[in-house]
Amino acid sequence: MTAYLAVAAVLYLFAQALQMGTGAARLAGVRSKRVATGLTLFNLFATSSRMLNLIYAPLMGALIDISRHLGDVSGFERDLRVIIAAATLGSILGGALTPTFAVLLQRGIASFERSGSLVGSIARLARPTTFASALAEFRSPRAAMLRYSPAGLPKAFLFWNVIVMAFWVAGPLSAFYAGVIDAKVTGTALLLSGLITGVATVTLTLVVDPTAAVITDQAALGMRPESDIKAMLLYLVLGAIAGTLLAQLVLWPAAHLIVIVARFLVNHGLQHG
């Protein structure tokens, strides 16, 4: 069980780090004046992050079944808090690597334009010489990265980014937790994560993503300085870190809300069965 948890936590850490790297695609797009191409690479990062779930999800499923078999609810809660802590570390790692991601993505945009094939550009990265050259682009984190001011950014946008991350991380995990709290409604509980992630999805779609897109376009058009993009990325990362910490507080009440709704649905169905 410990091995499953360790692997799941590491995968979740890297998935979160990749998710943070998506912001670097915006900066690379602004610097190269290729915002649309940058967004294509943005989607590549997001897809890579989701691919890790192909391994992570079955491991979490095994942890759920083991915990239900042992009746170890408190132990499973501790496991989930380890996963959330891994998300926090992943946010820090992804934020620290953002400058490196941005440089590599600029090169990726140029390679994509030359070849016209994203697959070909990725394949070239596997060449030893290209890979070594990419490693040489590593930019170590510096204290100067923290100098950017949020003065030019909408404050509501930064606040809601924290809420998005908290509910996005806590949602699926709280559904897992609910499935262990009451084994009679596990199947229903696992499919109710949308009760929690729905808050994140709506807020992301209506507030966070549109604002980030406007700031990116304005910087690309010269209406904003590039420093505003850097400030946005910095505070999105800091907001993500804060959001994963907040997810620790959201986990328990969210799980019990899902249990209440799942019990209602199951019991209501039995009454009319």
- Rounded to an integer, what distance in angstroms lies between the CA atom of residue 32 and that of residue 113? 11
Predicted pLDDT at 131: 55
- Rounded to an integer, what distance in angstroms lies between the CA atom of residue 86 and that of residue 11? 9
Segments forming the whole domain that contains residue 47: 2-140+151-271
Predicted pLDDT at 122: 63
Q: Is residue 82 part of a domain?
A: yes
Q: Is residue 9 part of a domain?
A: yes
SS3 151: coil
Mean pLDDT (the chain) is 84
Structural domain count of the chain: 1
Predicted pLDDT at 152: 82
Find the mean pLDDT for residues 115-143.
64
Radius of gyration of the chain (CA): 21
Predicted pLDDT at 124: 66
Q: Is residue 145 part of a domain?
A: no
Using the predicted structure, report yes or no on whether residue 160 has a pLDDT greater than 80.
yes
Nearby residues of 55 by Cβ (< 8 Å), 6 or more positions away: 7, 11
Q: What is the pLDDT of residues 12-68, one digit of tens each?
A: 999 998 888 777 777 777 777 776 676 776 677 677 777 888 888 889 989 999 998
Using the predicted structure, report yes or no on whether residue 1 has a pLDDT greater than 60.
no
Q: What is the pLDDT of residues 215-247, one digit of tens each?
A: 888 888 888 888 888 888 889 999 999 999 999
In angstroms, how far is CA 35 from the centroid of its own chain? 21
Torsion of CA 148, 154, 159, 164, to 10 degrees: -100
